[in-house]
Each structure stands twice: as structure tokens, then as C-alpha cells.
Amino acid sequence: MLTLKQLETFVQVVELGTFERASQRLNATQSTVSKRISELEQASGLRLFDRSRRNARLTEEGERMLELAYATLDGAKRILELNEQPERVLHRVRIGFTDLAALTWLPGFLRDYTIERPDIRLDITIDMSRTLYQQFQDGELDLVVIPQVPEAFAQPGVETRLLEEVEMAFMAREGLVDGPRPIPIGALERYTLISQGKRSGFAQDINRWLSHQGMAAANLTADNLLALVGLVAAGRGISVLPKLCVQRFAREQGLEILKTIPRLPTIGYYALYHGGVRIRLLEELAHRLVNAADFTRPFFFSEKSSARS
């Protein structure tokens, strides 16, 4: 059986040039050194030294073995150092968010969490929820924060944690929608409906709900949330948007929140993560996300602006 002692002896013989010098360095007898080299050759099936010469001269097979021996001994050293220097261990977690989190509480969370947990490196992906969920299923992401995905709750090995229920509302440029308030949902059908595309989980949920109310799907799409707000502010149509988040700067953008009958449902945002050997790390991270999540306040929105609204 091949051992680290054999590899260490082999390296010492090569570096010092003779079996005698290697035995002195290793504080072992020369016969012990010879025995370890013979056992290494027997275990590997390779002839490592040209014994026709006085000095320990490597064969071609020995040259190849030397490179692997260095790598193996270095790897073994790193393994032993794990327990001696645990502070050097850096845990990498691949985590995905939609742009609503990125526009609200995520920047503050990353700032604080990076300071508090320097041992954890968060690799961040910002994308549409359906894309993130597919990457999560494919094992490319360890944790995602996305609107509820019904099939995820029945998937073995997937843990879920509710972060927040986000209130949704129809919005339009002031003066675009006439008539009494609250507005029957059916009365909005004559306006252009702007929505995020098929890769958006919350857009799919809203479109499904609107379909049950007899309302047609969106005929204008923009995947970026800020672009969506911009199109509504430009008077291109109406859209379903996160109410409290957009409400903070709706007046400055000339937007109106449309009260409807019936009211739109809330959208639950969840942290999804895989179980397994890293379950405690991911559970702790999910708990921190629950405490940090606030989808109501844009990170770029000042307290002064909040007071005016």
C-alpha cells in the first residue's frame, strides 16, 4: 500500500542525492529508507531509480512520480492545516436574487453581512426568477430568493423560508385612467398592459390571476423593473408593480396607484436552498435574509424624500 512516509522518503532521496543523506535527514536507518523506496516501487509498479549509478538518479518513471509526490504531500499538508488554522477557511455560497431585492434591501444586507461574516464569500447573481430557479435546480446556485414557485415546495431536498409578502397594485401615469374609484378590473382591459416577460415568476402569477378575472395577458413587456416603471411613467400603459416600493417615488414620477375591485393578491418571496452537508450554513444565511428583507424601500431613496411623500 502506498503511504505518505514512502513519498516523503522518495522526495528526500531525490533532493539530497543519496539514500545515506536521506536517512540522516529523516533520522532513520539507511535500510529503512531502502525498504520504503522498495515498497513504493512495488505499490506503484514503477522503477523509480537507476541503481546502476552511484548516486540516486531518477528514471523517466521516477521523474513523473516526483511531480505527483510533491503535489500529494502538499495536499496532505493543506488537509492537516485545516484544523490548525480554521480562521482561513472561506465558505463560498452562490446566491441568486431578482431585481426587486437588488433595488431595495440587498445592497444594505451585503454591506453588513460582508463585515460580520468575512469567512463567507457570497457570489451574487441577479436575474429573472425563472432563470434563477432553473440554475438552482441545475446545482449552479446554492440559494435563491424568488417569488413562490409551487413545484419547489414538493421537491425533495429543497428547503423554503418565507421572507415577505409583497403587496402589488396597478399603476398608471396620473390622468391616464379615468372613471370612478375603485376601478373594476374589467374596466382596465381597454388600456395597454405592461408586464415583465415569461421568465418572471411574479409576472406569471399575476397574469394567471388576471386570466381568472377575464383579463387578457400583457401585450408589452420589459424584464427590467426600472424600465417597467419608466414605461408606465411615460404613459405607455398600466402595470402591476410592487406597491409600497414604487409608491415612495410615485408622486415624483407622476404615477397613480389604481385601487381596483377585486384587489390584487400579494406575492410571497421565498428563500429556497438545498439540504445536505451545508444545511446549517444555508439555514443561518436564510435566517439573516428573513431579518433583512424589506421590499418596500428603494435603497437609493433618501429619508428626506420619504418625508415629502
pLDDT digits (tens, 9 = 90+) for 110-132: 999 999 988 899 999 999 998 99
Place of cell 435574509: 289
Are the beta carbons of 35 and 9 closer than 8 angstroms?
no
Q: What is the pTM of this model?
A: 0.67
Helical packing angle, 201-212 and 129-137, nearest 10°: 120
Task: Give all domains of the chain, ordered by start, each with its CATH number.
Answer: 4-86 (1.10.10.10), 91-165+269-308 (3.40.190.10), 168-261 (3.40.190.10)
Q: What are the start-end ranges of the E strands in 64-219?
A: 91-97, 120-126, 143-147, 158-166, 168-173, 183-184, 193-195
Predicted confidence at residue 302, as pLDDT, reads 55
Percent of the chain whose predicted confidence (pLDDT) is above 90:
39
Are the beta carbons of 251 and 174 closer than 8 angstroms?
no
Could you tell me which of 271, 267, 219 has the C-alpha nearest to residue 241? 267
Are the beta carbons of 147 and 129 closer than 8 angstroms?
yes
pLDDT digits over 63-108, tens only? 888 889 888 988 888 787 766 654 555 788 999 999 999 999 999 9
Q: Which helix or strand (DSSP H or E) is residue 306 part of?
A: helix 303-308
pLDDT digits over 231-274, tens only? 999 999 999 999 998 887 777 788 999 999 999 999 999 999 98
pLDDT digits over 190-222, tens only? 999 999 888 887 788 888 888 888 888 777 888
| Cα-based angle 17, 72, 118 (whole degrees, multiple of 5) | 130
Predicted confidence at residue 196, as pLDDT, reads 87
Instruction: Give the burial string for 270-308 (b: 16+ CB within 10 Å, else e).
Output: bbbbbeeeeeeebeebbebbeebbbbbbbeebeeeeeee
Q: How many CB atoms lie within 10 A of CB 262?
A: 10
Task: Say how far apart CA 113 and CA 199 lie, in whole Å.
Answer: 29
Q: Which helix or strand (DSSP H or E) is residue 58 part of?
A: strand 57-58
